[in-house]
A and B are shown apart, each in its own frame.
Chain A
């Protein structure tokens, strides 16, 4: 498991795979649909972060630890989806959607899915 550099841009730039959440890839035409691809990641917050968050809850505001945690998890879910798509021979994923669900106290599942396509 690798932790990606922290950025809000999923690692499509690394893998040269284009991600969009619309039905097309602007500037290119879709030649082949390869079906649904998905990736998920379940993360639990750890104790240190939880204590810090508990303190932060007194004064409110952003919980940076959790923001980073979820961002990493989402990036991992995205990269798993990208791997899935690469296995199918895709070079783009369209109609990408994200979903978050909290499983139990302190654990969340981040889920990404989309349609793998070949574009030219």
Chain B
């Protein structure tokens, strides 16, 4: 009985704080994305020519994100049925936008007009043994030119 109560409390904490943090983060992301609107982004390959550029520099942005207790639990349930795991979709979206923004903001601070050949990659940090911390690293990098 006690275990169930503790579990329910943890689930409640995870849901309450996790949802609040997510909402705040999404609002902040939108705000920050507005601020970097002037920067031209492109994922065109390494052969992209930038004839009008005078200087170039590599920029990297990364973030490690983790799931909350509630999401982990729901994902565990959803895994039984397969299909979309919506709770992780929003988590990854946040991570990806955050990593991109960090890269873009440092490029903008340097005075970049454009960032070309942007690459985004995701790596899992902890093994998937069920007990460990669900932690994912998202990194974005690209060449800023001015």
Contact = CB atoms under 8 A, between A and B. Distances in A.
B133 A18 contact: no
A26 B103 CA distance: 19
Contacts of B106: 7-9
A59 B58 contact: no
A21 B117 contact: yes
The binding surface of chain B is classed by DSSP as: mixed
Contacts, number: 156
Interface string B53-67: 111111111111111
Most buried by B among A56, A62, A104: A62
Given A66-B135, A66-B137, A60 B68 contact: yes
Interface of A: 7-10, 12-13, 18-27, 50, 53-54, 56-64, 66-67, 70-71, 74, 95-102, 104-106, 108
Interface of B: 10, 13-14, 17-18, 21-22, 25, 46-50, 53-69, 71-72, 91, 98, 102-103, 106, 110, 116-117, 119, 121, 123-127, 129, 132-135, 137, 139, 141-143, 145
